[in-house]
């Protein structure tokens, strides 16, 4: 049967942007941090780095070990043939460091937060190494075919804002500066889970687009960020489990809040496991049906969609 379940998402829904989901931890072994994936615990790093001795395991990123990702980006870019943007995907230094220091996922972040005070020189060295590796990884993805890069500081929202200023923002700024020099035409998107308290700070990193999760009112986010930067988001992924009329109303509300320009319509985070495919299809149908008029009566193009 020729339905969405038997086709690739690109073939089924034809979004304006496509992304190969490459976990943010994918590049770790390429610069000296091997890890395993366990069924219950998720990613597990057997030798967390919490000391000067641990830093000795790190080395410059070996991009040849990531050639499979470069090949995948080239194949995808060729497949979409200019009909969609190809997005790259990286973790921000602070977020990657949380896994490396904690030894995997955590709910408390106590080890890495403690290091900010007990071993700041070790943490700074780790973050600096990650910044260089991630910058090189971004350039590699762009050279392999990515049109745009999304930077996920997924756990940046776990820091108080003043701590984020010290332990995350400077390293993201350095990445942005490096990529701007080497790939000046490549747009950069920054996303943080629970970023309501960090919006203005995120804008200060110099990225082109701020991704908003569903806990931020998009109209308020747009007001705080101003019109000089684009926004992405932020339909709650759980809405795709609701009746389709409710999903329609929420898409229309989000788009109204964002305004007619500088908005990438998307979910506030990824598609949840078990999401009905008919709801995903409906998301695209509703979005493509939207039109706007300016006060002068001119029709403005529909918002862009990214999956």
Given pLDDT bands bounded at 50, 70 and 90, which one contains residue 189?
very high
Query: What pLDDT does residue 292 have?
Result: 61
Query: Residue 294: is its pLDDT beyond 60?
Result: no
The residue among 60, 103, 17, 69 whose CA lies nearest residue 287 is 17
Residue 143 burial class via C-beta count within 10 angstroms: exposed 0-12, middle 13-18, buried 19 and up = middle
Query: What pLDDT does residue 297 have?
Result: 46
pLDDT tens, residue by residue, 17-51: 998 877 899 999 999 999 999 988 899 999 999 99
Query: Residue 298: is its pLDDT beyond 50?
Result: no
Percent of the chain exceeding pLDDT 70 equals 93
Find the mean pLDDT for residues 254-282.
93
Given pLDDT bands bounded at 50, 70 and 90, which one contains residue 207?
very high
pLDDT tens, residue by residue, 230-260: 999 999 999 999 999 999 999 999 999 998 8
Query: Residue 304: is its pLDDT beyond 70?
Result: no
Find the mean pLDDT for residues 1-11.
63
Q: pTM of the entire structure? A: 0.92
Average pLDDT over the chain reads 92
Query: What pLDDT does residue 124 have?
Result: 98
* Rounded CA separation 19/17 (Å): 7
Query: What pLDDT does residue 171 have?
Result: 98
Query: What pLDDT does residue 306 have?
Result: 52
* Ranges in the chain annotated CATH 3.20.20.210: 4-211
Query: What pLDDT does residue 167 have?
Result: 98
Phi/psi of residue 265, nearest 5 degrees: -70, 125
Query: What pLDDT does residue 30 have?
Result: 98
Give one DSSP letter per residue of 107-169, joined into a string. SS-HHHHHHHHHSHHHHHHHHHHHHHHHHHHHHHHHHHT-SEEEEE-TTGGGS-HHHHHHHTH
CA atoms within 13 A on the CB side of 231: 30
Given pLDDT bands bounded at 50, 70 and 90, which one contains residue 261?
confident
- What architecture is the 4-211 domain classified under in CATH? Alpha-Beta Barrel (3.20)
Given pLDDT bands bounded at 50, 70 and 90, which one contains residue 305?
low
pLDDT tens, residue by residue, 50-88: 999 999 999 999 999 999 999 999 999 999 988 999 999
**Looking at per-residue confidence, does 54 or 306 come out higher?**
54
Query: Residue 173: is its pLDDT beyond 80?
Result: yes
pLDDT tens, residue by residue, 102-141: 999 999 999 999 999 999 999 999 999 999 999 999 999 9
């Amino acid at each position: 049967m020729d339905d969405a379940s038997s086709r690739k998402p690109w073939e089924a829904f034809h979004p304006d942007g496509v992304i190969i989901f490459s976990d943010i931890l994918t590049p770790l072994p390429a610069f000296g941090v091997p890890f395993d994936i366990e069924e219950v615990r998720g990613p597990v790093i057997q030798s967390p780095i919490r000391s000067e001795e641990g830093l000795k395991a790190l080395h410059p990123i070996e991009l040849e070990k990531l050639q499979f990702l470069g090949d995948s980006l080239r194949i995808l870019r060729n497949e979409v043939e200019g009909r969609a943007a190809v997005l790259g995907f990286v973790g921000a230094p602070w977020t990657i460091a949380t896994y490396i220091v904690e030894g995997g996922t955590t709910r408390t972040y106590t080890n890495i937060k403690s290091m900010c005070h007990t071993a700041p020189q070790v943490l700074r060295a780790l973050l600096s190494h990650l910044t260089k590796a991630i910058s090189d990884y971004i350039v590699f993805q762009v050279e392999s075919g990515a049109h745009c890069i999304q930077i996920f500081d997924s756990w940046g929202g776990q820091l108080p804002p003043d701590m984020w200023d010290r332990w995350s923002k400077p390293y993201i700024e350095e990445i942005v500066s490096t990529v701007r020099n080497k790939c000046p035409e490549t747009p950069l998107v920054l996303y943080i889970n629970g970023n309501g308290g960090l919006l203005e700070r995120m804008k200060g990193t110099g990225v082109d687009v701020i991704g908003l999760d569903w806990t931020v009112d998009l109209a308020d986010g747009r007001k705080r960020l101003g019109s000089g930067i684009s926004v992405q988001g932020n339909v709650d992924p759980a809405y795709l489990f609701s009746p389709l009329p409710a999903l329609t109303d929420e898409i229309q509300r989000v788009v109204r809040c964002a305004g007619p320009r500088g908005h990438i319509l998307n979910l506030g985070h990824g598609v949840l496991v078990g999401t009905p495919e008919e709801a995903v299809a409906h998301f695209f149908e509703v979005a493509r049906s939207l039109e706007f008029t300016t006060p002068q009566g001119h029709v403005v193009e529909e918002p862009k969609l990214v999956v």
